[in-house]
Amino acid sequence: MISIIISSVNKQQLIEVKKNIEQTIDVAYELIAIDNSSGKKGVCEIYNAGAKLAKYDIFCFMHEDVKIHTNNWGVILHKIFCEN
């Protein structure tokens, strides 16, 4: 349902955000994390590369240093996209 695309520069933060997403999303998803620890690519280039790999129609671009506090946020997001 949702393809989450992350430009990753910090492995520990990526591990933490993966756990956070898993605990809060409550819908089918895929996580596409593209390593940009070298800093050689711009975030738009990373996000476009991730979008090309995505298998779902809804894209969620995020940084790895976020903490999601809303449970069922994936359900909410999917509902918004389906209604509009």
The per-residue pLDDT for 39 is 85
Residue-wise pLDDT for 16-74, tens only, equals 999 999 999 999 999 999 999 998 999 999 999 999 999 999 999 999 999 999 999 99
Q: How far is CA 42 from the centre of its chain?
A: 17
The per-residue pLDDT for 30 is 99
Which CA distances in Å does 1 have to 12, 29, 31, 32, 41? Answer: 26, 6, 11, 13, 27
What is the pTM for the complete model shown?
0.92
The per-residue pLDDT for 84 is 79
The per-residue pLDDT for 81 is 93
The answer for residues whose C-beta is within 8 angstroms of residue 63's C-beta and 6 or more apart is 6, 7
Distance CA 84, CA 78 (A): 10
**3-state SS class at 48:** helix
